[in-house]
Structures are given as structure tokens and as C-alpha cells.
Amino acid sequence: MLTIQDPELTQLMHEKMHEKMHEQQPASWLRQLNQQPILDLPFRSYFLLAVAFSIIAIAIWAGYLNGYFTFSTTGLSPIIWHVHEMIFGFSATIAVGFILTAAQTWTGKASIKGLPVLLFIIVWLMARVCLLINQPTFIYIAIALQSLWWLASIAVFSHLVLSSQNRRNYLFIPLLISLMLLNITLLSLDLLNYSELAQHIARTSILMFCLLMAILGGRVIPFFTSSGAKLKAITTPTWLTTLLIATSVAGIVVFILSAFIELSFSPAGLMIVSGILHIVRLSYWRSIATLKIPLLWSLHLAYFSLGFGLILLGISYLPFEYLNIPLQFSDALHLITIAAMALMIFSMMCRVSLGHTGRALIVHPLVSWLFIFIFIGATARVLLPIFHLPLLGWNSSAFLWLLAASCFLKVYFPVLTTKKVERLYANKNT
């Protein structure tokens, strides 16, 4: 009979066994490097770097929107720089850090740590610096560095799942490859002055992240909910998940083709149907039972925002005279990027940071405020432009992001930079 184990507990036990196997080995500079807590699996450094960089990126973007900062006219366009750094500099970095860490639990094989993680960090940081300089030569270097980072990440993950024949997670390989190709295409098109097409690729990347959230969320949210809220195992109809994934993939295909082929229909219907299916799926997950558990209600709220955001995206295709409100595609998209993507990312980071360092899943009071700041920021970003207050919406969202990211760093910097707690965590507040 197939049993489901808590992934953080499995991870901790695996790492303890791995340490005992090597505790008799003589010390060396490489062993000392491998023992640095910040380099112990990719999640620690990736989480901290991505969140810290997001503060810089949002501050620059807010400065640009308010006329205090200008971008180079020969490099990436401002909107593409912003979109790229938040999707790929922030979201993709954390997603890859999580997947490379979780792969060790999924496969039972050791993931990278120590020197390889340090090399990954160096490549990632060099790419960020090149994109900040934002000159053509440095953008080409950034494309090469970003490609190297993606290829190395995919190679590590593929080796882990293929060598262990972990077929259940093979699907992440084409997903990661697709995100890499979208990343490189986005930068290349904008550098070649195809900015409109680059924006289309950026939006496609966000829809790909929606698919990734549908897959990961469908796996972890029901399990975390049943274990954390002490409920019976939560099940979702197989037909619903299959239909949801098929509709999501079809929506992405239609959306990306719409830039190259004149279609007789828009992806609006598929987006709306996908959003409804997400919300129907969520209805099976006992959300009411999570209201007193921040690490759970945040995931449920993020997943609801994913479904509702896709519905709004579809509605945004309708002419304004049918809506009586000026709902823009880009405004609706930010409900997904902030309330769905960012909220789910921060929630998973908070949980993984505790679980994979051996700590109890009991959150600091600031963490609840972190989640609230993210959601209010998303709401302001979507609603205020509708009421003809776009700058206030942008500034409010940026300010709340800075607060949320600062809360994360304050709470989790000491967690992610110190050794694992040598005890099994209590499964009290999952």
C-alpha cells in the first residue's frame, strides 16, 4: 500500500543519515564549505537572495514610476526589465530552489550542497548585476549566464529523478525547459526591439507558472491541510484534475499562438473555465478548517486568487461597454502575480524554511502580517487603477511588498543561516 510521508520529516531523517556516514572523514576546506549552513541545499541561499533582490527590484521600479529613476535606452525596456526580474529573478529562482531541494526527498538521492550551490549563486548574482547595468553587451552576458544557470539546474534535477526512476516527477523536466526557453526568448526579443512580442512571452511565462502552481498546489495543499488541520485525507476527483490541467495547457497554447496566428476565438473562454475549475477544486480542500493556521490559510487564499485571477483575465478580453468597469489585462494579471504566485511562494518559503531546518512549524507573528501585506498589495494593485488611481495602486503595492519582504528577511534570515535544529519538529501548526 502506498503511504504518504511528511516531506520535511523524510528530508531531516535523510540528512541525519547522510551526516553520520561522513562524520569520520578528515576535515578539509571542501568539507568545511559543505558544512556552511547557508550552502546546505539550494533553498537557503535561493530564498534569501531572491527575497533580498526583490526589495531592490521593486524599489527601482517604484522609483522609475515616480520619475526618480531612468533606465538605459539601449538595454532592456523598463517594463521587460521589471517583468523579467520579478518572474525569473524572484519567482523562478525560488521555484528552482524548492524543486532542487524537494528532489532529494522525492528521490532519496542527495541534491547539491556546498561548492556547487556556491557556483550557482555566483552565476545567478552575475546575471542580476549584468541586467542592472542594462547595456547591450551586458544583456548578452546575462543571457549566457541565465542560460547556464537554467541548464545546470535542469541537469541536476534530471539526474536525480531519472537515476532514481522517479517517474511521478518527470513532468517537471519539460516544465523547467519551457520556462528556460521563455526566459531566454523574452530577453532576446526585447534586446532586438520586439518589445510587444516580448511582453506576450512574459505573459505566457506567467501562465506557465499558473500551470506549475496547479500541479504543485494540487499535490501539497491537500496533504498539508489534512496533516496540519488534523483532518481525514483530502481527495480530489481525478477527472477534475485531468480536466483542469488539460484546459490550462490548451489556454496557454491558444494564448501564445494568438500572437502569431489570427484565430477566430480568444483564450478568454479557456481562462475563465480554468479559473472556475481551480475554485471547484479548492472547494474539496476544507478551507474553513485552515482559518487559524497561517501556513495553511495563506496557501488556500493564494490558490483561490489563482482561480479568480484567471477568471478576471478572461473577463478582461470583453469590451468595456459590457463590463462598465475599465478592467485591463495587466491589472487582472497582477492578481495572479502577487496574490497567487507571490503569496504561494512566501507561504511555501516560510513552511520549507522551518521544516527543512528541523524546526517546529509554528510561525512568528510577523508571518501572518507578511501574508496580509502581500494580499492587500495585490488588491490595491488591481482595484485602484479601476477607480482611475493607477499611481496610488502601484505605489501602495510596492510599499506593501517592501514591508512583506522585510518581514520575511527579519524572521527567516537567522533560520536559514544557522544549522538545523537537532530534533524532530512538532507537527502542530503545519
Each residue's pLDDT tens digit, 344-366: 999 999 999 998 888 888 888 99
My answer on whether 264 and 293 are in the same domain is yes
| Euclidean distance between CA atoms 376 and 388, whole angstroms | 18
My answer on whether 297 and 405 are in the same domain is yes
Residue 30 has pLDDT above 80, yes or no: no
* Mean pLDDT, range 41-60, rounded to an integer: 94
| Euclidean distance between CA atoms 143 and 165, whole angstroms | 32
* Mean pLDDT, range 406-421, rounded to an integer: 91
| Euclidean distance between CA atoms 365 and 294, whole angstroms | 9
My answer on whether 153 and 278 are in the same domain is no
My answer on whether 167 and 142 are in the same domain is yes
Residue with cell 495563506: 298
Is 11 part of any domain?
Answer: no
Q: Which of 108, 208, 103, 119 is nearest to 158 (CA)?
A: 103
Give tens-digit pLDDT for 250-294.
999 999 998 888 877 788 899 999 999 999 999 999 999 999 999
DSSP readout, 311-327?
Answer: HHHHHTTS-HHHHSS--
Is 228 part of any domain?
Answer: yes
- pLDDT for residue 355: 86
- pLDDT for residue 378: 95
| Euclidean distance between CA atoms 279 and 283, whole angstroms | 6
DSSP designation for 76 = S
Residue 424 has pLDDT above 60, yes or no: no
My answer on whether 240 and 267 are in the same domain is yes
- pLDDT for residue 415: 92
- Mean pLDDT, the chain, rounded, equals 88
- pLDDT for residue 2: 37
Is 302 part of any domain?
Answer: yes
| Euclidean distance between CA atoms 259 and 256, whole angstroms | 6
- In our burial notation (b when 16+ CB lie closer than 10 A, e otherwise), range 270-294 reads bbbbbbbbbeebbeebbbebbeebb
Q: Is 232 exposed, middle or buried (0-12, 13-18, 19+ CB in 10 A)?
A: exposed
- pLDDT for residue 20: 52
Cell of 68: 526618480
Share of the chain above pLDDT 70, in %: 90
Is 243 part of any domain?
Answer: yes
* Domain closes at, from 158, 193, 228: 193
Is 24 part of any domain?
Answer: no
Nearest-Å Rg of the Cα atoms of the chain is 21
Spatial CB neighbours of 54, under 8 Å, sequence gap ≥ 6: 86, 89, 90, 401, 405
Cα–Cα distances in angstroms (integers) from residue 347 to residues 13, 15, 222, 388, in the given order = 23, 23, 15, 31
* Domain closes at, from 131, 158, 193: 193
My answer on whether 114 and 232 are in the same domain is no
- pLDDT for residue 167: 87
My answer on whether 274 and 421 are in the same domain is yes
Residue 421 has pLDDT above 60, yes or no: yes
Is 427 part of any domain?
Answer: yes
Least confident of 27-41, 199-213, 265-279: 27-41
CA 345, 301, 397, 272 dihedral sign is positive
Residue scoring higher pLDDT (17 or 188): 188
Q: Quick one: pLDDT band at residue 4, thresholds 50, 70, 90?
A: very low
- pLDDT for residue 140: 95
Share of the chain above pLDDT 90, in %: 64
* Mean pLDDT, range 205-233, rounded to an integer: 90
My answer on whether 398 and 261 are in the same domain is yes
How many residues make up the chain in this entry? 430
* Mean pLDDT, range 194-202, rounded to an integer: 92
Residue 396 has pLDDT above 60, yes or no: yes
Domain count of the chain?
2
| Euclidean distance between CA atoms 296 and 221, whole angstroms | 8
Residue with cell 511582453: 199
My answer on whether 239 and 160 are in the same domain is no
| Euclidean distance between CA atoms 135 and 156, whole angstroms | 31
Cα 237 from chain centre? 26
Q: Distance between the two ends of the chain, CA-based, in angstroms?
A: 25
- pLDDT for residue 320: 61
* Mean pLDDT, range 10-31, rounded to an integer: 55
Whether the full predicted model's pTM is greater than 0.95, yes or no, is no
My answer on whether 157 and 179 are in the same domain is yes
- pLDDT for residue 416: 93
* Domain closes at, from 137, 166, 193: 193
Is 55 part of any domain?
Answer: yes
> Range of 49's domain?
35-193
* Mean pLDDT, range 41-61, rounded to an integer: 94
My answer on whether 360 and 246 are in the same domain is yes
Report yes or no: 37 and 43 within 8 Å, Cβ to Cβ. Answer: no
| Euclidean distance between CA atoms 192 and 184, whole angstroms | 12
- pLDDT for residue 3: 41
DSSP designation for 423 = S
Is 428 part of any domain?
Answer: yes
- pLDDT for residue 18: 52
DSSP designation for 6 = -
Residue with cell 522609475: 64
Q: If DSSP states are collapsed to H, E and C, what string results for 176-209?
A: HHHHHHHHHHHHHHHHCCCHHHHHHHHHHHHHHH
CA 352, 242, 301, 399 dihedral sign is positive
Amino acid at 73: T
My answer on whether 286 and 423 are in the same domain is yes
